[in-house]
Amino acid sequence: MKKNLSTILLSISFSAGLMFFQSAQGATPKDNAALVTDYLHALFFDKDLNAVEQYWGTQMIQHNPTLPDGHAVLRQIIGKLGPDFKYEQGLTMNKGNFVMVHGRYTGWGPKPMVGVDIFRIENGKVVEHWDVLQEEVPADKSPNGHAMFPAK
């Protein structure tokens, strides 16, 4: 009985220390994933140009080789989205202050695009972005027969 009580107390102490460490470090990975999901919804569903300042830090570092750093480019992109644009969020993964989102962009170009966006979060704000995009190939046109993006 004494050993079990010691194990329980040690476990509680460890958990409390971990919670203190996470709060001292800022948001948890789960919070970061929710932040990115909220940001993508505000941007692509609500087309809310104010979301740029709400979700992005004062500096926005962009790793897409066709886009400059800063908020202005995001305002331009969102402002140009046509009525046929559709975004679908798929798998979301997070580790520490990084969040990766698998998504499908329809109406972005002549063919649907599937990509992975990677965001770095600092102090509750998105501060850095990478993306990898490619045209979607339907499963029936793929040699392996698998879809690039899961059907809902």
DSSP 77-139: HHHT--TT-EEEEEEEEEETTEEEEEEEEESSSSS-EEEEEEEEEETTEEEEEEEEEEE---G
Length of the chain, in residues: 152
Delineate the domains of the chain, giving CATH numbers in brackets: 27-141 (3.10.450.50)
Spell out a b/e string for 49-69, using b for 16 or more CB atoms within 10 Å of the CB, else e.
Answer: eebbeebbbeebebeeeeeee
Q: How confident is the model at residue 16 (pLDDT cuts 50, 70, 90)?
A: very low
Q: How confident is the model at residue 13 (pLDDT cuts 50, 70, 90)?
A: very low
Q: How far apart are CA 105 and CA 121, in angstroms?
A: 23
Q: How far apart are CA 121 and CA 125, in angstroms?
A: 5
Token pair belonging to 62: 């962009």
Q: How confident is the model at residue 48 (pLDDT cuts 50, 70, 90)?
A: confident
Q: How far apart are CA 142 and CA 148, in angstroms?
A: 9
pLDDT digits (tens, 9 = 90+) for 129-140: 999 999 999 999
Q: How far apart are CA 33 and CA 47, in angstroms?
A: 20
Model pLDDT, residue 10: 35
Token pair belonging to 6: 């010691």
Helix (H, G, I), strand (E, B) or coil at 147: coil
